[in-house]
Amino acid sequence: MKKTAFVFPGQGAQYAGMGKDFYEQFPESREVFDRAGELLGMDMCGLCFEENDRLNLTEYTQAAMITTIGAMLQKIGTMGIRPQVTAGLSLGEYAALVTAGVLDLYDAIRLVRLRGQLMQEAVPQGVGGMAAVLGLEQAAVEQACAETEGVVTIANYNCPGQLVISGEQAAVQAASERLKGLGAKRVVPLNVSGPFHSPLLKEAGEKLAEALREVEVHRPQIPYAANVTAEYVTEESGVRALLADQISSSVRWQQCVERMLADGVERFVEIGPGRTISSFVKKIDRTVEVINIDKAEDLQKIM
């Protein structure tokens, strides 16, 4: 049997209608949507299944994403399919923690809802920004950020040739111009509501740390690769600190995938809306098997 990793997308992969077929076809998935709606006091089905203005607002997006992924995981769990390792990009790390047995699903849903609210409120609209940098080596991007006045850092190491910078709006714009001059193929401003995964969100991480102290954390049943360090976590000590730091630290996704590949992972199963993670993994290693579970019909790929 191939060594398998379950991997999970982050914010940006959401779309209206995500998870609807799981809700309609599987009672265990329906229960997740219904319970999450009751827990958070919102119409989770309306948020996830229907066109609306809230789905792309961070404070709602993150709760919708973890609920949808959790509903998919509940169904996959009944099929008896288990990974050997797991990881998730940004908020997707919470789904990895559920998969690894570190967090209860409904604790994760509550935490992610709070995380989204804290991230939304952390920096006034227009103060911060983010931009995708395409076609440039990470060392050049790191140097450009370091030489730019103001706060701007790498938010995401997604895959070779694709990074994201984040920070103060003026600093992001200045770094973007510098990066174009260094030969970046494109530097694309992102339509986001804040400078995520930058030092500007440190206070949000501190507030999340307070909530994390009230949540039960268990020893991982399987290793998970942490965004902050790109190293496996095999003990419960340090989990809370990693999650608090993750909000204002770089997401080392490429390094997480490389860590799993070095550990002998041969198959990556992306669970959740879209194909973002599948695309990143293939750009990191074209030879590895990648499966995407977005629709109920996709389940046959892993049976």
Q: How many CA atoms lie within 13 A of 7 on its CB side?
A: 31
Q: SS3 of 86, please? A: strand
Identify the burial level of 4 via C-beta atoms within 10 angstroms of its C-beta, where 0-12 means exposed, 13-18 middle and 19 or more buried. buried
Rounded CA separation 109/62 (Å): 9
User: Given phi > 0 = left and psi -120 to 50 = alpha, else beta, which region is 19?
Assistant: left
Q: For this structure, is 166 an active site residue?
A: no
Is residue 157 within 8 A of residue 252, CB to CB? The reply is yes
Catalytic residue among 90, 248, 250, 278: 90
Distance CA 31, CA 53 (A): 25
Catalytic residue, chosen from 29, 166, 197, 250, is: 197
197 is catalytic: yes
For every residue of 233-281, DSSP letters joined together read E-SSTTHHHHHHHHTTS-B-HHHHHHHHHHTT--EEEEESSSSHHHHHH
Tokens (6 digits) for 283:
């750009």
Give Cα 184 to chain centroid, integer Å.
25
Q: Taking the CA of residue 144 as centre, how many other CA atoms within 13 Å lie in the half-sphere pointing to its CB?
A: 27
Round to the nearest angstrom and report the end-to-end CA distance of the chain.
Answer: 13
How do the residues of the chain divide into helix, strand and coil, expressed in percent and rounded to 5?
Answer: 50, 15, 35
> Which positions are annotated as active-site residues?
90, 197
